[in-house]
Amino acid sequence: MSGLNCYVVSYDIREQKRLSRVHRAMKGFGEPVHYSVFRCILTPKGRVEMVSVLTDLIKPDEDRIMIIDLGPNEGRVEERIEFLGVHDIKEERKIIIE
């Protein structure tokens, strides 16, 4: 087992400047699926780092971030993600935070 889990991270940020900062930070942890939704492949340490960075960027009384753990990256993660409508099929970059 590689110790990597797949996470879906979604956020609602009230203020544009914070929104831009969160979006830029998330690009360091995963691939954007939609503007405010990212798919991240992270080690446990990488997840802790991501949560720490995001916690420092948001106002918890105004903003909200949701992190969904899809489980180990090995196996059937791709089968758990479904798109309806237009979806760009790109060659995926593998971003791993250790």
Question: For the segment 2-38, what is each residue's pLDDT rounded down to a tens digit?
Answer: 789 999 999 999 999 999 999 999 999 999 988 899 9
The pLDDT value recorded for residue 80 is: 73
Token code pair at residue 40: 């991240």
Residue 76 CB burial class (10 angstroms; 0-12, 13-18, ≥19): exposed
| Alpha-helical regions (H) of 1-98 | 16-27, 44-57, 77-80
Tell me the pLDDT band of 92, cut-offs 50, 70 and 90: very low
Other CB atoms within 10 Å distance of the CB of residue 30? 23
State the pTM of this model: 0.81
Find the length of the chain.
98
Spatial separation of the C-alpha atoms in residues 68 and 49, rounded to whole Å: 16
